[in-house]
Structure 1
């Protein structure tokens, strides 16, 4: 299927193509939410408060719903890293705790889980961090949330919290499984124990800004397709997602290169493309000092004649 044909399809038709290729496991790594909020709702220097949580709640629900509407079965959303609990001061730690309770208590999220028949849970090494900051009650609430049972599961949604380094946790789980069974656990058993369900490997990863995949223990195989938006994650839009899905389903799934069918003109064009871009490297950028932000440099020259 070519690009124009794909873009002419309805949302449901594209979703069916995604489901036919699945079950698809996607990662949507949230990044740049404070910049998005300041640009869309705030003013310079405005504190992250109730208005921020309400705005990002609405946008996060919209985007996860969009991904599910396009056929994604399982979605991992890395949200919070340890430094949010430990290195930005008590006020920000309190805001981080508030973010977690939003995911477990807010009617908007609870209604969303019910409407889409979502089995939602947390993953990561958050337990120790919560205990260290005196949030044992919240940890118990999260554990109860993770154990909720649904009669019908159409989608799975995993909120990643402190999932940056899973070595200690996975090692402990492996030892516990070995002690219980007397056998070295398989990768599938490790995934089931860590995530609470059987999850296929990641199909695609959507991040923002600097290209790097993270916070998805045991699920990255090297065969996942990686995508990184230039703008902060909340700016992801439907047309952009359709471009990503076309690339994932078709552009990267072509048959082996047919070198024997290429003409001399084809080889000349390929040589020209490589020569034009001999110094270009995907992922190279520059720091904009006025903003303190990394920006990708312009890359790839391509004569489409």
Structure 2
């Protein structure tokens, strides 16, 4: 999305060479805090590759939890104020109680894993959101619910960024309606958007800045936070394979390349008009987001439009 606001930007090569501290300083110099949506998907296919490279990676849940904590740390080190990670949805429950119990047992490891512990000890606040209390009514899930409550209480006094883990946040409307009714009964008026967000998440959360999906360009399980100016990205590699380079490229695109001034078409010089017309003709019929099911894996894979990249894709902020 174009915006009237523009900021002085480094070149992409300079940005990629900066230390994380300088990137974080630049990120925090923008008026709005950086709020990242990042679902943790493609984990099983990632683990297949990881186990082939490292025979010692035998504990699936421990390996995944540790890698996730490392990437959360990387995002916070680059200036993120809030990271939302949708974890499980109703599809998990449809696979049965035993599978759900195994998947959710990873919550019991968060307080013990040394990488997670280091994250929380640094001041990161952890909150869980979603309809997990309503979904996990079977007594077998009581230890997981208790672990969630204990971690929230333990990290509440932290002075660092906010980590929000989503559990069954794919059907939020009943809870949102109930919160609205309860608020109105107490205050004599309906809640505004900010009050509703704080009631749902248990904390004040600014608008979503961008969302990094996996393979398919889609956004889910971040209720109420899409203000219409968030940017959508999708990595082809599984979420645990997200690299610092990828995250920096996404940051650069979000902070600089997409913040170009609105174009005055009447003032475009003939050369720019010709380039725009040529590009439109080159892209005719091309669609981003299409895919096909692979005949061997039976998994969806993207099909890329056969369109050459713009000649100055890595200019100074796209301007």
TM-score when normalising by structure 1 = 0.91
Is 1:28 aligned to 2:38, yes or no?
A: yes
Question: CA separation in 2, counterparts of 1:122 and 1:302?
Answer: 41
- The residue matched to 2:110 in structure 1 has which SS? helix
Cα offsets for 1:239-288 (capped at 9, x unmatched): 11111001000011111114344332222221111111111111111111
Contact 2:51 2:58 in 1 (8 A): no
Question: CA separation in 1, counterparts of 2:140 and 2:68?
Answer: 28
Cα offsets for 1:181-228 (capped at 9, x unmatched): 111111111111111111101011111111111000111112101110
Q: Against the structure 1 CA distance between its residues 289 and 27, is the aligned structure 2 distance closer, same or farther, given a 3 Å change threshold?
A: same
Question: CA separation in 2, counterparts of 1:224 and 1:209?
Answer: 18
Shift of 1:3: 2.3
Cα offsets for 1:108-145 (capped at 9, x unmatched): 32332112x11101100111221146423432442343
Question: CA separation in 2, counterparts of 1:6 and 1:260?
Answer: 34
Aligned twin of 1:46: none
Q: Against the structure 1 CA distance between its residues 143 and 58, is the aligned structure 2 distance closer, same or farther, given a 3 Å change threshold?
A: closer
Question: CA separation in 2, counterparts of 1:107 and 1:36?
Answer: 22
Contact 2:125 2:157 in 1 (8 A): no
Aligned twin of 1:111: 118
Q: Against the structure 1 CA distance between its residues 129 and 253, is the aligned structure 2 distance closer, same or farther, given a 3 Å change threshold?
A: same
Question: CA separation in 1, counterparts of 2:216 and 2:265?
Answer: 34
Question: CA separation in 1, counterparts of 2:17 and 2:116?
Answer: 32
Aligned twin of 1:52: 60
Shift of 1:75: 0.6
Is 1:76 aligned to 2:84, yes or no?
A: yes
Aligned twin of 2:104: 97
Shift of 1:81: 1.3
Q: Against the structure 1 CA distance between its residues 291 and 79, is the aligned structure 2 distance closer, same or farther, given a 3 Å change threshold?
A: same
- The residue matched to 1:75 in structure 2 has which SS? strand
- The residue matched to 1:135 in structure 2 has which SS? helix
Is 1:253 aligned to 2:259, yes or no?
A: yes
Structure 1 residue ranges (4+ consecutive) displaced by more than 6 angstroms after TM superposition = none
Question: CA separation in 2, counterparts of 1:75 and 1:205?
Answer: 10
Shift of 1:42: 5.1
Contact 1:273 1:302 in 2 (8 A): no
Aligned twin of 2:12: 3
Is 1:267 aligned to 2:273, yes or no?
A: yes
Which structure is higher in RCO with an 8 Å CA cutoff and minimum separation 6?
2
Question: CA separation in 2, counterparts of 1:93 and 1:8?
Answer: 43
Question: CA separation in 1, counterparts of 2:45 and 2:165?
Answer: 21
Shift of 1:25: 1.0
Is 1:131 aligned to 2:137, yes or no?
A: yes
Shift of 1:97: 2.3
Contact 2:105 2:144 in 1 (8 A): no
Q: What is the correspondence of 1:1-305 to structure 2 with a 5 Å cutoff? A: 1=9, 2-21=11-30, 22-41=32-51, 51-84=59-92, 86-115=93-122, 117-132=123-138, 134-148=140-154, 150-299=156-305, 300-302=307-309, 304=311
Shift of 1:230: 0.9
Gaps of 5+ in 2: 1-8, 313-319
